[in-house]
Amino acid sequence: MASFSDIEVEPIAGTTRLAGSLTVPAGAPGVVIFAHGSGSSRHSPRNRYVASVLTEAGLGTLLFDLLTQDEELDRANVFDIGLLAERLSQVTAWLRAQPRPEPIGYFGASTGAAAALWAAAEPGAEIGAIVSRGGRPDLAGPRLGAVTAPTLLIVGGADPAVLDLNTEARAQLRCANDLAIVSGATHLFEEPGTLAVAAELARDWFLRYLGSTGSAG
């Protein structure tokens, strides 16, 4: 894959063209696809901040809208984890079809984390690593046990309900995994310095697994 600097792209999912932003530094060991949560988009300032930390570390990133504007009008689509996971898998296939595809990781926030885990559990997914920030991995349900990609769950220490859900979901994972609790952070990691900590944890996880093994699936 050629070296890009924040190129606007149109990933194709089935017959649907989506809007995305792709950045691949020269020599990137892998590309991280972002799956945003409900009510968010590729313009999410939190995800874009995390993406900037990853690209500064030499990793590629792809931020895209999981749904078209028309699809978002139906609120049921926003919470349809199966649909979001299928869309993510299709975009992953699109990315792999580009020249010199790199190992691929997933970064999911909120419901996007469930979609990432669901997609990674599909046979032949071959995802190298997954990071969930303030995610709802529990919504991936029984598919959690089929995930093979090393998975990091990042949760705010001041987000007790989601912390409980992540702890329960982690118990169902059979892959290499870890739970990182960011002290003082609530669900959106809006407290000073907390998003930076989450981004650094994600960076280190992806560099560890995408930079060495390339794929664990």
Cα–Cα distance for residue pair 71/69, rounded to 1 Å: 5
Q: What is the mean pLDDT of residues 170-185?
A: 98
CA distances from 217 to 98, 103, 185 (A): 20, 11, 31
Q: Which amino acid is at 3?
A: S
Q: What backbone phi and psi angles, to 5 degrees, belong to 5?
A: -130, 95
Question: Quick one: how far is CA 44 from the chain centroid?
Answer: 13
Q: Which amino acid is at 133?
A: R
Q: What is the mean pLDDT of residues 174-184?
A: 98
Check pLDDT > 50 for residue 149: yes
Which of 25-29, 41-45, 66-70, 196-200 has the lowest average pLDDT? 41-45
Cα–Cα distance for residue pair 177/173, rounded to 1 Å: 7
β partners of residue 182: 156
Q: What's the DSSP call for residue 102?
A: P
Structure confidence at residue 4 (pLDDT): 45
Structure confidence at residue 23 (pLDDT): 94
Structure confidence at residue 217 (pLDDT): 38
Cα–Cα distance for residue pair 40/7, rounded to 1 Å: 20
Pick the residue with more confidence: 116 or 7? 116
Q: What is the pLDDT of residues 106-135, one digit of tens each?
A: 999 999 999 999 999 999 999 999 999 999
Structure confidence at residue 71 (pLDDT): 84
Cβ neighbors of 132 (< 8 A, separation 6 or more) are 107, 108, 109, 113, 116, 117, 151, 152, 153, 154, 166
Task: Give the pTM.
Answer: 0.92
Superfamily for 7-210? Alpha/Beta hydrolase fold, catalytic domain (3.40.50.1820)
Q: What is the pLDDT of residues 34-92, one digit of tens each?
A: 998 766 667 678 889 999 999 999 999 999 988 888 887 787 787 899 999 999 999 99
Check pLDDT > 60 for residue 213: no
Give percent of the chain with pLDDT exceeding 90.
72
Instruction: Judge whether 120 and 127 are in contact, CB under 8 Å.
Output: yes
Check pLDDT > 60 for residue 212: no
